[in-house]
């Protein structure tokens, strides 16, 4: 697994500090409000688990599973809902938690879909953002890092379902996906 890593972009320690800062910011801005975090599976699983423990107020969580990449390194643009929310978000303050935004097509679809369910507010939080790759405009409210246009793995993020359990964020060697 490690031999397929080209370069480590963010270490476990750096990610931890960033997650603490995001958790503090969210706590400050939502204190006293009814907040639901919606994790987008599978990629956001690790980020969501770490972030929610850095939010110091009562919250609830829910998950959606969507997929647009399959086993490719480029988005198909077609977003499939594999698992929907368990509970209504009507009149709730909602933050969507993502691991990475690339073309923005997944979140564009998700925002439209969730807005139609009448939340009180809807914001986006992502650990990583590749703004160069954007195909649709999105307002990102909470962000860990901007990253260059390279294929990313680790800390929940996969290539063909592998590498999610690397504890850091890294780039994948080209030879792995070009063979």
Interface residues with ligand HPA (CB under 6 A)? 69, 100, 102, 151-152, 157-159
Nearer to ligand HPA, 10 or 159 (CB): 159
27 binds, among ligand PRP, ligand HPA, none (CB under 5 to 8 A by kind): none
- Per DSSP, the three-state class of 120 is coil
| DSSP code, position 55 | -
Side-by-side strand order, sheet with 59-67? 80-83, 59-67, 35-41, 93-101, 121-129, 142-146
Is residue 102 a contact residue for ligand PRP (CB under 6 A)?
yes
Is residue 104 a contact residue for ligand PRP (CB under 6 A)?
yes
Nearer to ligand PRP, 120 or 164 (CB): 164
Q: Give me the least distance between CB of 21 and ligand PRP, in Å please.
A: 21
- Determine how many CB atoms are found less than 10 A away from the CB of residue 46: 22
* Active-site residue, selected from the candidate residues 102, 141, 149, 158: 102
Cα–Cα distance measured from residue 29 to residue 33, given in angstroms and rounded to the nearest whole number = 9
Radius of gyration of the chain (CA): 16
Is residue 42 a contact residue for ligand PRP (CB under 6 A)?
yes
Element at 87 (helix H, strand E): none
Strand partners, 154: 157
Q: Are 83 and 65 in contact (CB under 8 A)?
A: yes
40 binds, among ligand PRP, ligand HPA, none (CB under 5 to 8 A by kind): ligand PRP
Element at 15 (helix H, strand E): helix 12-30
Q: Give me the least distance between CB of 81 and ligand HPA, in Å please.
A: 17
* Contact string (CB under 6 A) for ligand PRP, positions 46-85, x = contact: ---------------------xxx-----x----------
158 catalytic residue (yes or no): no
Q: Give me the least distance between CB of 143 and ligand PRP, in Å please.
A: 13
- Per DSSP, the three-state class of 33 is coil
Catalytic center residues = 102
């Amino acid at each position: 697994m490690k031999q397929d890593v080209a370069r480590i972009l963010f270490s476990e320690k750096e990610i931890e500090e960033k997650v603490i800062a995001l958790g503090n910011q969210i706590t400050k801005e939502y204190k006293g409000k009814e907040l639901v975090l919606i994790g987008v599976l599978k990629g956001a699983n690790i980020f969501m688990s770490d972030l929610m423990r850095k939010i110091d107020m009562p919250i609830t969580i829910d998950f959606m599973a969507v997929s647009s990449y399959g086993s490719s390194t480029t988005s198909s643009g077609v977003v499939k809902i594999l698992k929907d929310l368990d509970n209504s978000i009507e009149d709730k303050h909602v933050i969507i938690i993502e691991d990475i935004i690339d073309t923005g097509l997944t979140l564009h679809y998700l925002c439209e879909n969730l807005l139609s369910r009448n939340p009180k507010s809807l914001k986006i939080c992502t650990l990583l953002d590749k703004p160069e790759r954007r195909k649709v405009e999105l307002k990102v409210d909470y962000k860990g890092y901007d990253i260059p246009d390279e294929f990313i793995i680790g800390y929940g993020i996969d290539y063909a379902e592998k590498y999610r359990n690397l504890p850091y964020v890294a780039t994948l060697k080209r030879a792995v996906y070009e063979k």
